[in-house]
């Protein structure tokens, strides 16, 4: 097996501060600390993505390119297809 070369992660989008919209379908526990968090909860919160790091996820990404092409024909919009080593949303 030849392993794939690494690709830049989706979080690079956040690092570049590209503004996006709010995403309704992704549910990640809040990074904000609870009022009286346990050490474990505090440690986890420090690793979770910030709001900026999740902005790129606000785009209503589809996951099936063939279905997306069919949808584009119906709604008369072009398709933007993001391809990288590892599904960009699989890394999400």
Partner 1 sequence: MRRLSDDFVPVVGAHEVLTAGPLASWWSAVVAAANRQHRGGTTQGYYVFASDGTPVVWDNYIPRIPMFLERAYAMALHAHGGRIPVPADVAARAAPPKAPEDVSVVRLFTRITPLPPGADRFNALLGRDSMWILGDEVRVMIEASSEVGVSFDLPPNLARRLVTFHLVDNVRGAVWPWRPSAVTKDVLRAKVLERSQDRLRLELSGAFEKEDSHPPQWTSRGQRGTLEGELVLDVKTAKVLRLRAIARSTAWSDATYESYSRPPKGDYPIVTALVEANDALARDVAPEAARFGHGYLAPRTRR
Among 64, 66, 51, 54, CA closest to 92: 54
d(CA 9, CA 77): 27
Count of residues that bind partner 1 according to CB under 8 A: 68
The answer to whether residue 35 forms part of the interface with partner 1 (CB under 8 A) is no
Q: Which of 32, 33, 34, 77 binds partner 1 (CB under 8 A)?
A: 77
CB–CB of 57/18 below 8 Å? no
Task: List residues near partner 1 by CB under 8 A.
Answer: 1, 3-16, 18-21, 25-29, 40-41, 43-44, 46-49, 53, 55-56, 58-69, 71-73, 75-92
């Amino acid at each position: 097996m030849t392993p794939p070369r690494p690709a830049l992660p989706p979080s690079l989008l956040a690092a570049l501060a590209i503004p996006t919209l709010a995403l309704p379908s992704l549910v990640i526990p809040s990074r904000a600390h609870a009022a009286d968090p346990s050490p474990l909860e505090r440690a986890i919160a420090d690793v979770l993505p910030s709001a900026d790091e999740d902005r790129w996820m606000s785009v209503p990404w589809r996951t099936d390119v063939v279905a997306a092409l069919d949808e584009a024909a119906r709604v008369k919009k072009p398709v933007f297809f993001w391809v990288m080593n590892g599904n960009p949303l699989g890394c999400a």
